[in-house]
Chain A
């Protein structure tokens, strides 16, 4: 599936998030831009892959996403999922502050 036509939203997430997301999007060709408002389902995020992605996100970003936020709306687009991650992201006690990563646009 093509990214949504007329997409003009800007991606504002670390490269590690996009790299992780790409692992779970079989229909997104390498090198092709990931539009923030692209349909994750359209890019191949199947039901089971959603679970694997969730577990990867929680491990990599040190975040716990409550079950009630595991909704269709959360997993609609890259940006909707990233917004949930950022709202839930709390550094673990005693953990190093998160490394600032280069952002892409």
Chain B
């Protein structure tokens, strides 16, 4: 494994945003041996008393080419879905799911606390369970994709600029902004979608960031993308971060699909809403992102 080469792809986390993790945790993410981690540190990865930085490790894993790191394995799940014909990406599908959320207070959760339901599109929650410090929902999701093209040349131009000038990277929470992405030239799905949205608005287009879950495999991951109103009046998705990852980790065809189309594995939260549920506990409102699990 050429960790020197892998690390040349990494824009390191600025000192004031670093989240130090133990080497054991880094090895879990990279799914490699201690000498590999030492090689990464020799290649220039910042370290402090044996600890390394969480997002640097995630990005080194993403670009490692090992096919074994956590980021690569997560993308491998989506790539498996994309092996099927494109028609299956947009066909109506039914997902039986469970959402689980934990109170930030853990065992100290107020017994009179309340939880809002996850606010996902085309979802019916058929079961609710509450216990000390947790909430659980059982539900049915009827999802479908859309396959549409972008007609507005200005939207296409903004999209092409993004793909030419920016790259995907795991990004600390404090840097998930349009400004930080513009400055660092890298960002995650949140930062890149915010930057694309800002660029489209600057061109006079109606655009917003959407949140949701991406269900590939047993457990869904959270995801964000942009949505823009095209010249035909329709709101169309622009999944810029996936389009950046697709040529290297998925398929080139999927990169093009991300411009205006959306697949049936993308489960959006309602417009103006988020994937987080509200938990009223001890007089405060906590926003908790539940884990979404495909049951059968």
Chain A interface (Cβ < 8 Å from any Cβ of B): 47-48, 50-52, 54-55, 64, 67-68, 70-75
Contact = CB atoms under 8 A, between A and B. Distances in A.
A72 B293 CA distance: 7
Contacts of A73: 295-296
Interface residues of B, number: 23
Interface of B: 28, 31, 68, 70, 73-74, 76-77, 80-81, 83, 93, 96, 98, 216-219, 265, 293-296
B219 A47 contact: yes
B200 to A, nearest CB: 32
Given A47-B219, A51-B217, A52-B68, A70 B294 contact: yes
A72 B218 contact: yes
Given A47-B219, A51-B74, A52-B68, A67 B295 contact: no
B296 A67 contact: no
Given A67-B77, A67-B81, A75-B218, A48 B70 contact: yes
A74 to B, nearest CB: 8
Contacts of B216: 67
A18 B64 CA distance: 30
Given A67-B217, A68-B93, A72-B218, A51 B296 contact: no
23 contacts: A47-B218, A48-B28, A48-B74, A50-B217, A51-B76, A51-B217, A52-B68, A52-B73, A54-B217, A64-B83, A67-B77, A67-B265, A68-B93, A70-B77, A71-B96, A71-B218, A71-B295, A71-B296, A72-B293, A72-B295, A72-B296, A73-B296, A75-B218
Contacts, number: 47
Q: What does DSSP make chain A's interface, helix, strand, loop or mixed?
A: helix
Contacts of B80: 67
Contacts of B31: 52
Contacts of B93: 68
Given A51-B74, A55-B76, A71 B294 contact: yes
Given A50-B217, A52-B68, A55-B76, 4 more contacts: A51-B77, A72-B218, A72-B294, A73-B295
Closest 8 CB pairs of A and B: A51-B73, A73-B296, A67-B81, A71-B296, A71-B294, A70-B217, A72-B295, A70-B218
B5 to A, nearest CB: 23
A68 B74 CA distance: 16
Contacts of A48: 28, 70, 73-74
Contacts of A54: 217
Nearest to B80: A67
Contacts of A71: 96, 218, 294-296
Nearest to B28: A48
